[in-house]
Amino acid sequence: MLLRAGEIEAIIGDGSRIRNHPGIWLLASQYSPFNVAHNKSAMMLGGGLRNRQPTLRKLDDFSCALERSSTPDDPSDIRAIYRISAPYYLDYEHNIRDTADRIDSSLDYRSVGFANYTNSPDDLRIHFISNGEWFRWTPDRHGGEGSAVAPSYLPAAKLEVWPEGHPDPSFWWYKRLDRGFDEPFFYGRFEDMVLIWVFDQPRYLRFFLSPEGGGRSHREGKTSTAWDFEWIIPRDQWQVGKWYRFRARLILKRYAGDDDVLLEVRKAQQELGFETVVAVDDK
Give the pLDDT confidence score for residue 239 in this predicted structure.
97
Q: pLDDT digit of tens for each residue in the chain (283 aa)?
A: 999 999 999 999 999 987 899 999 999 999 999 999 998 899 999 999 999 999 999 999 999 999 999 999 999 999 999 999 999 999 999 999 999 999 999 999 999 999 999 999 989 999 999 999 999 999 999 999 999 999 999 999 999 989 988 888 888 899 999 999 999 999 999 999 999 999 999 999 999 999 998 877 767 777 889 999 999 999 999 999 999 999 999 999 999 999 999 999 999 999 999 999 987 765 5
**Domains by residue range for the chain, with CATH:** 2-281 (2.70.98)
Q: Quick one: pLDDT at residue 281?
A: 62
pTM of the model: 0.96
Which residues, in sequence order, are CB contacts of 182 under 8 Å at separation 6+? 128, 129, 130, 131, 132, 151, 152, 153, 277
Q: What is the pLDDT of residue 221?
A: 75
Beta-carbon neighbour count of residue 161 at 10 Å?
10
**Distance between CA 203 and CA 121 in Å, rounded?**
29
Q: Judge contact between 235 and 103, C-beta under 8 A.
A: yes
